[in-house]
Amino acid sequence: MKSQTEFGPIDRILASDDELVPSSGFLSAVMDRVREEAVAPPPIPFPWKLAVPGMVLLACVAGWGVYEAVHFMGPRFHGSALSQLQVPIAMAHDLKQAGWVAAALAVSVLSWMVPRRLVRRSGLL
C-alpha cells in the first residue's frame, strides 16, 4: 500500500471527502434547457413519399448496370442486339456512346428539375 506522500495531486483530490456542490446557476440553467426542450416542436419527419421514387430509380439504374455488365461479360456478347440490327460495326460503337450521352443528359436535366420543383413547392423561392 502506498503512503500518502506517494500519491499524486489528483489522487489526493479524489481521495478527499469534500462534498461536490454545483455552482450557483447550474441547476437553473439545466432546468431552463429542459423546459426549452419540452416545448420545442417535434423534429421534421423524413419525406419518404419523395424519397421512395428516387430509391426505386436508383435500384433500376443499378439493376440496369448489373445487366449491362453481365451482358458485356457473358458468352452471349457476340450475338447481342447490336448485331441483330444489322448496323455496321463502326457505327455500333458510336450508337452506344450516343446512348450513354443521352442518358447522362437526361439524368442531368432530371437532377436539375426535381430539386427546383421541390423548392418551388416549399415556398422558399
Instruction: State the pLDDT at residue 87.
Output: 54
Q: Assess whether 84 and 27 both reside in one domain.
A: no
pTM over 0.85? The answer is no
Do 78 and 34 sit in the same domain of this protein?
A: no
Consecutive sets of 10 residues in the chain, 125 residues long: mean pLDDT of each?
Answer: 65 77 87 92 86 91 84 59 55 72 89 84 67
Looking at the structure, tell me whether residues 54 and 28 fall in a common domain.
no
Q: How many domains does the chain have?
A: 2
User: Residue 68 belongs to what domain range?
Assistant: 48-122
Contact between 58 and 50 under an 8 Å Cβ cutoff? The reply is: no
Tell whether 9 and 67 lie within a shared domain: no
Beta-carbon count within 10 A of 114 CB: 13
Written as one string, the DSSP assignment of 32-92 is HHHHHHHHSPPPPPP-HHHHHHHHHHHHHHHHHHHHHHHHHHSGGGGG-HHHHTT--HHHH
Same domain for 77 and 35: no
- 4 DSSP assignment: G
Q: Are residues 112 and 56 in the same domain?
A: yes
Pair (60, 115) in one structural domain = yes
Q: What is the pLDDT of residue 82?
A: 47
State residue 31's pLDDT score: 93
